[in-house]
Amino acid sequence: MPTGVAIRDVREQLFDAADRILLRDGPSALTSRAVTTEAGCAKGVLHRHFEDFDAFLAEFVLDRVDRMDGQAAALREAAGTGEVADNLTDAVIALFGSVAVAIVALVTFRDELRARLRRAWPAGVPVLTEAVTVIAGYLTAERDLGRLDPDTPVDGLAPALIGTAHLLFADRGAPPTREAVHRAVVGVVGGVLRPS
């Protein structure tokens, strides 16, 4: 890209480039040069907007966590409709079909990134802990609506479901089938579902 040409929404352009690289090539391929090349801009553009590459990565991860708000709202709105296991299956597929699995690997891969994220996110891997919060909120709503047993241990089921889903989606050439995800969801929450 020629110098002196304004780039619109440079942060988003760089974040989207990082998404594509992570999904296509994995965390080891994510470098500042790869991001700027993928975004079609000069390397200096990234460093004009971020202190360094780990600062870029930390903001990228937190931005992707913020994007989960839409998924959380959709899942909350689904409470009381359809089948609980189907709603959870759809939510898990949407979450782990995104860049979330690759972000977990990225955070694990880079020590400095983890250190920077701890300043804003004191515990856990941001996308996974946010996913647990989203699922716990949904399970609480369903429990309050009487679609789960009143003694449902939401704080235990939500992380169990996210951990199970992460194992299903991580390090695979192809994502698991919807049926496989649904079986896993039912395996985690089936014991607390109340008949519709």
**Residue 1 pLDDT exceeds 80:** no
- pTM over the 0.75 mark: yes
Q: Mapped to the 3 state alphabet, what secondary structure does the chain carry?
A: CCCCCCCCCHHHHHHHHHHHHHHHHCHHHCCHHHHHHHHCCCHHHHHHHCCCHHHHHHHHHHHHHHCHHHHHHHHHHHCCCCCHHHHHHHHHHHHHCCCHHHHHHHHHHCHHHHHHHHHHCCCCCHHHHHHHHHHHHHHHHHHHCCCECCCCCHHHHHHHHHHHHHHHHCCCCCCCCHHHHHHHHHHHHHHHECCC
**Residue 4 pLDDT exceeds 50:** no
Domain ranges of the chain: 10-49, 65-192
Arithmetic mean of pLDDT, 149-166: 94
**Residue 2 pLDDT exceeds 50:** no
Q: 192 falls in which pLDDT band (50, 70, 90)? A: very high
Domain 10-49 has CATH 1.10.10.60: yes
Give the pLDDT score at 172.
66
CATH numeric code, 65-192: 1.10.357.10
**Residue 54 pLDDT exceeds 50:** yes
